[in-house]
C-alpha cells in the first residue's frame, strides 16, 4: 500500500507571523519546513530593554528547535534564502535547494534608512538581537573610554540621539533617561552625567503620531519630565559619525545615534515586480501573493487592501500573529472554497515611557499613567513564550523596580582572533 504524500509547506522567516503559522500547522497532516537565518524567534517589543541592559537577550529569544522539539511534522533549517524560482516551486539558499508545494513568505522588515548609505553604516538600527546588543555595547563603551580619555569629553561623546518618535524611539528615550539617572552614576561615580543628553528627533509635531491625541500629549509630557530633549518637526538629513545634520540646518554632536524612524520590507529575489507595492508583497484577502496560486505572504511583508484598510494593514505584531493563524487554518482545509478571508480587528496600541509612565489606547477607552504601565507589563509578560522566560523577565523587572538597578550591563564584543584581514 502506497504511503500518502504530505503536502510540503515552506515558511521563510520565524517572526511573529511565521512562528504563529508553524504552530497552527504543528502536528497536522502537512510537512512544514521553517527557514530562517537566525536559529531563534525574537520578541521584538522588548529589544529596547536589551539595548539598555535591563534584560538578557536570551530572555526574549526562543530557539526554534526547542519550540518544535516534540513536533512530528515541523522541521527547522538555518540558512538564508537567496532566490525564489516560482516556475520550479524551488528556493535557492546559501546551503542548497528546497522544493515546496506551497510557499509562505514571512520575512518581516528591516530598518529603513531611506537610501542614506552613510547613515546605515554609522547609525544603529534595532530590528534584531545583534543590533540591540550592539547598541548596549556601544553606549557602555562610550563611558568606559570617557573615564580614561578625559581630554575627549566633548558633546559628541555624551549625546545619545534617537531618530524616530514611534513606540521604539519613545521607549528607548525613556529607558536611557532612567539609566542616566539611576544606574550610570553608580557605575561611574566620578563622572558628571548632567552632560549626558538624550535627544529624540521627531518628524512629527508630537511623539507616538499613530496613537490618540491624549497619548501623544501625555507621552510628550512624560519625556520632558524625564529630561529627554524632544525635537519636533525635524528631519535628519545626514550623519558623519560625529555630527547629526537636520533639515533645519541644526547640527547635533553625537557618537551614539539610534535609528528608529521607519522600516522597509525584506524582499526576496525571484517574484514578479508587479506583485510588489511599497516594498511589500501584494496579497488577496487570503494572503495569497497576487499572480501566484501557491505563494503566500504574511505579516509585515504583506500588503493587503481591505475596505477597512485601503492602504494596507499597520505593520504590528497583532496583524502578523492573526494573519499567520488565519492562513494556517485555511491551509488545513481541503477546499479553498471553505477558506476564510482575513479581517483585522484592531486591539489597540500602547507604549511605555519609563517607570510608572505608559499610554494605552484600546478600542473602547484610553488611559495613561501607573495603571497603564502595569497593563503594559502584564500584557508583554503574557506574550513571552516560555514559563522560564516569563519568570526570568519578571524577576529582572521586580529587581530593577525595587533597587532601581540591574546587573546586565555586559560588554560582549566579537572575537577577532580569526580575522584574516591584513
Q: Express each pLDDT in 338-383 by its tens digit.
A: 999 999 999 899 999 999 999 999 999 999 999 999 999 999 999 9
Q: Are residues 150 and 224 in the same domain?
A: yes
CB 292 within 8 A of CB 283: no
Q: Where residue 192 falls among pLDDT bands split at 50, 70, 90? A: confident
Mean pLDDT, residues 134-162 taken together: 80
Sheet of 96-99: strand order equals 81-85, 90-93, 96-99
Instruction: Point out the domain boundary residue: 244, 261, 278.
Output: 261
For β-strands 160-163 and 109-111, DSSP reports them as: unpaired
Domain limits for position 283: 7-108+266-338
Domain boundary among 214, 239, 261: 261
Indicate if the pLDDT at residue 83 is higher than 50: yes
Q: What's the mean per-residue pLDDT of the chain? A: 91
Q: Are residues 171 and 234 in the same domain?
A: yes
| Residues with Cβ within 8 Å of residue 221, at least 6 apart in sequence | none
Same domain as 272, residue 257: no
Question: In this model, does residue 422 exceed pLDDT 50?
Answer: no
**Residue 418 — very low, low, confident or very high, per pLDDT cuts 50/70/90?**
low
pTM: 0.91
Q: Is 10 exposed, middle or buried (0-12, 13-18, 19+ CB in 10 A)?
A: buried
Q: What percent of the chain has pLDDT over 90?
A: 72
Distances in Å between the Cα of 166 and the Cα atoms of 202, 249, 323 are 9, 23, 23
Quick one: cell of 283?
496579497
Residues 286-331: pLDDT tens digits? Answer: 999 999 999 999 999 999 999 999 999 999 999 999 999 999 999 9
| Per-residue confidence (pLDDT) for residue 368, from 0 to 100 | 97
Statement to judge: residues 134 and 257 lie in one domain: yes
The answer to whether position 355 is within a domain reads no
Residue 33 pLDDT:
98
Task: Give CA–CA dist 376/15, Å, rounded.
Answer: 21
Same domain, 102 and 153: no
Highest mean pLDDT among 118-122, 126-130, 159-163, 180-184: 159-163
Same domain, 253 and 271: no
Q: Are residues 187 and 125 in the same domain?
A: yes
Q: Is the dihedral of CA 74, 104, 47, 137 positive or negative?
A: positive
**136 and 249 inside one domain:** yes
CATH of the domain at 255: 3.50.50.60
Tell me the average pLDDT across 241-263.
92
Grid cell for residue 413? 564584543
Which of 213, 241, 261 is the C-terminal boundary of a domain?
A: 261
Residue 187 has pLDDT above 90, yes or no: no
Cell of 126: 534595532
* Domains: count for the chain: 2
At 396 the pLDDT is 84
Beta strands, E only, 170-255: 198-201, 229-231, 236-239, 243-246, 251-253
Domain assignment present for 348: no
In a domain, 379, yes or no: no
Amino acid at each position: 500500500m502506497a504511503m500518502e504524500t504530505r503536502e510540503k509547506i515552506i515558511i521563510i522567516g520565524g517572526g511573529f507571523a511565521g512562528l504563529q503559522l508553524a504552530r497552527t500547522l504543528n502536528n497536522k497532516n502537512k510537512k512544514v519546513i521553517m527557514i530562517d537565518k537566525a536559529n531563534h524567534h525574537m520578541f521584538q517589543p522588548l529589544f529596547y530593554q536589551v539595548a539598555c541592559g535591563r534584560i538578557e537577550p536570551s530572555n526574549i529569544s526562543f530557539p526554534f528547535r526547542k519550540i518544535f522539539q516534540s513536533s512530528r511534522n515541523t522541521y527547522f533549517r538555518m540558512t538564508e534564502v537567496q532566490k525564489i524560482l516560482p516556475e520550479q516551486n524551488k528556493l535557492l539558499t546559501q546551503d542548497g535547494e528546497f522544493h515546496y508545494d506551497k510557499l509562505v513568505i514571512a520575512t518581516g522588515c528591516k530598518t529603513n534608512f531611506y537610501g542614506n548609505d552613510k547613515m546605515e553604516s554609522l547609525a544603529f538600527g534595532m530590528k534584531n538581537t545583534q543590533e540591540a546588543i550592539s547598541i548596549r555595547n556601544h553606549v557602555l563603551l562610550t563611558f568606559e573610554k570617557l573615564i580614561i580619555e578625559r581630554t575627549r569629553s566633548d558633546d559628541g561623546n555624551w549625546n545619545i540621539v534617537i531618530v524616530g518618535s514611534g513606540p521604539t524611539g519613545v521607549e528607548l528615550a525613556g529607558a536611557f533617561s532612567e539609566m542616566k539617572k539611576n544606574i550610570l552614576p553608580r557605575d561611574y561615580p566620578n563622572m558628571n552625567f548632567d552632560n549626558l543628553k538624550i535627544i529624540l528627533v521627531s518628524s512629527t509635531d508630537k511623539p507616538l503620531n499613530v496613537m490618540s491625541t491624549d497619548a501623544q500629549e501625555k507621552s510628550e509630557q512624560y519625556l520632558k519630565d524625564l529630561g529627554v530633549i524632544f525635537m519636533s518637526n525635524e528631519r535628519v538629513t545626514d550623519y558623519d559619525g560625529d555630527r547629526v545634520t537636520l533639515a533645519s540646518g541644526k547640527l547635533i554632536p553625537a557618537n551614539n545615534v539610534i535609528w528608529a524612524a521607519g522600516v522597509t520590507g525584506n524582499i526576496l529575489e525571484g517574484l514578479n515586480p508587479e506583485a510588489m507595492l511599497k516594498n511589500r508583497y501584494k496579497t488577496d484577502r487570503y494572503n495569497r501573493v497576487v499572480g501566484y496560486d501557491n505563494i503566500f505572504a504574511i505579516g509585515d511583508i504583506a500588503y493587503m487592501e481591505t475596505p477597512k484598510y485601503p492602504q494596507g494593514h499597520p505593520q504590528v505584531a497583532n496583524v502578523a500573529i492573526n494573519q499567520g493563524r488565519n492562513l494556517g487554518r485555511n491551509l488545513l482545509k481541503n477546499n479553498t472554497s471553505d477558506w476564510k478571508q482575513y479581517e483585522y480587528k484592531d486591539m489597540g496600541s500602547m507604549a511605555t515611557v519609563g517607570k510608572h509612565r505608559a499610554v494605552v489606547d484600546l478600542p473602547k477607552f484610553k488611559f495613561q499613567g501607573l495603571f497603564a504601565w502595569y497593563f503594559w507589563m502584564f500584557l508583554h509578560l503574557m506574550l513571552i513564550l516560555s514559563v522560564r522566560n516569563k519568570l526570568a523577565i519578571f524577576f529582572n523587572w521586580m529587581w530593577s523596580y525595587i533597587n532601581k538597578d540591574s546587573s546586565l550591563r555586559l560588554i560582549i564584543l566579537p572575537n577577532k582572533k580569526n580575522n584574516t584581514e591584513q
